[in-house]
Amino acid sequence: MTNKSVVFFVVLIIFLFIIGFAYFAVSCMYDIKVGTVGAEQQFRELLREMDAEAASSKFLSAEYLNKLQPMIEKNDYIAAVTIKSDTTTYFAYPTNSRYISANSITPEIAVSSPSMIVRSTNIPLNDKINTVVTAAVYLLPPHTIFKFARNSFVIILAGTLLAVIILIICSRTSKDGKTTTGKKEVPSSSDFDEIDIDSAFAPKEEPEQKFEFSAPEEQTFQEKTTPDNFAAEPQQPETVQIDPLGLFSPTTGLSWESYIETRLDAELVRAASSEQDISLVYIRVLDLPHNHPAARKIADTLIKAFSFKDLIFEFGEDGYVCILQNTDLTHGLIACEKLYTELTGLLQEFDVDKKVFFGLSSRTLRLIPGIRLIKEAMQAVDKAMEDPTLPIVAFKVDAERYRKFLAEEVSKANV
């Protein structure tokens, strides 16, 4: 083999080793990055199976808990699960799991690996006791890591075998070259003079092929990205057509109603990932349009009370919606009572005889979409309007209705 061939194969072998290690690292990092969605789905699937089993076995009975263990074992994404209330631990599996800490009075699930997250939700045991289901969920399960490691090992093994083959070929070529040289030194010098040493051993001027692969890659990148860029361009006018005046309404200075569901869904995901509560307040000043002078003062009062302007929205013709971060139902009611006093006093200053109604809803450790939270707050306002003596109504989660909701989700998934 020539020196150029040896260099080419050395570069190829090094390239294969780099590909093997890079494949493993990039695959793991990518799966961890996008694994939140899969982890959420696996946790919800476990909740659906638990609820389906509760239909045939009494919830938290010995029979139910015995059937719960195989569910956890067959789910590759679930590492550990606990079920407990404020005072009692009903279930912790596996008991020898390193993710279940017994440092406190009751077992707690804690993870330190970036490839895992902790998810929890509330399942009412009855009207007086709520149980919290907490699970350690893999973003990157062990069997996936094994698959990436196996593929990476195959690539590195191929590079190693290729290196061994090249060494054997080079070794044989070297021996054959020595024998041939010995034979040619014996004949007359005329044979040697006919060889042009400069042309025989000088490197030939050829284009460096190892850099040619970059051009096709650039071309492929352009071919892939150009259609996407053109496909993405029509979306920009759609966004502009929704609210051409920007993020905030010029009438009240608050966010547009069209942004509520998108922002609320994002806040619910953030609250679930950090195990925090979140509340939604729907305020309706009956028959007071947003272009009324008092409505602008109401908007200023809401901004002053809740601080974050981008979490307060216009809603309907005479309503407002506020997203309260890290706020449960109890603290939300306290904030609403204080705000009700301020708004009623403000309407008296403007000599406006309008009724103010508050509807409050909270996530309460549930995994629900933003539209459901909005509907609950609207139902609470409708309830308040039925009885004007109770202008502030909070939507409290009903244990049976929530259980039926989970049962419906299970039936939809089976279909």
In tens, the pLDDT along 258-297 reads 999 999 999 999 988 888 899 999 999 999 999 999 999 9
8 A C-beta contact, residue 305 and residue 342: yes
The DSSP 8-state label assigned to residue 248 in this structure reads B
Domain final residue pick, 180, 210, 242: 180
In tens, the pLDDT along 360-384 reads 999 887 888 999 999 999 999 999 9
Question: Coil, strand or helix: which one is 308?
Answer: coil
Is the model's pLDDT at 167 over the cut of 60?
A: yes
Cα–Cα distance, 396 to 279 (Å, whole number): 12
Which residue in the block uniquely carries the two structure tokens 């971060």? 325
Is the model's pLDDT at 241 over the cut of 50?
A: no
Is residue 143 domain-shared with residue 264, that is, in the same domain?
no
Is the model's pLDDT at 312 over the cut of 50?
A: yes
Residue 189: the pLDDT is 38
Q: How many CB atoms lie within 10 A of CB 199?
A: 8
Cα–Cα distance, 312 to 280 (Å, whole number): 10
Is residue 261 domain-shared with residue 176, that is, in the same domain?
no
Mean pLDDT, residues 141-169: 81
Mean pLDDT, residues 21-45: 77
8 A C-beta contact, residue 82 and residue 107: yes
**Which residues are CB-contacts of 322 (< 8 A; sequence separation ≥ 6)?**
280, 281, 283, 302, 306, 311, 312, 313
Between 94 and 339, the higher pLDDT residue: 339
Count of structural domains, the chain: 2
* 4 within domain boundaries: yes
Amino acid at 203: P
Is residue 175 domain-shared with residue 298, that is, in the same domain?
no
In tens, the pLDDT along 324-338 reads 999 888 999 999 999
Cα–Cα distance, 11 to 169 (Å, whole number): 17
Mean pLDDT, residues 295-304: 93
Is the model's pLDDT at 407 over the cut of 70?
A: yes
Question: Which domain, by its residues, includes 392?
Answer: 257-397
* 246 within domain boundaries: no
Cis peptide before 289 (omega within 30 of 0): no
Which residue in the block uniquely carries the two structure tokens 């076995």? 57
Instruction: Find the angle CA(117)-CA(118)-CA(120) to the nearest 5 degrees.
Output: 145
Mean pLDDT, residues 33-37: 70
Cα–Cα distance, 64 to 302 (Å, whole number): 48
Is the model's pLDDT at 224 over the cut of 50?
A: no
In tens, the pLDDT along 81-115 reads 888 887 788 888 887 777 887 665 677 887 877 77
In tens, the pLDDT along 246-256 reads 688 888 989 99
8 A C-beta contact, residue 343 and residue 301: yes
Bridge-based pairing of strands 356-362 and 392-394 is: parallel
CATH number for the domain harbouring residue 314: 3.30.70.270
Between 245 and 310, the higher pLDDT residue: 310
Is the model's pLDDT at 403 over the cut of 80?
A: no
- With cut-offs at 50, 70 and 90, classify the pLDDT of residue 218: very low
* 322 within domain boundaries: yes
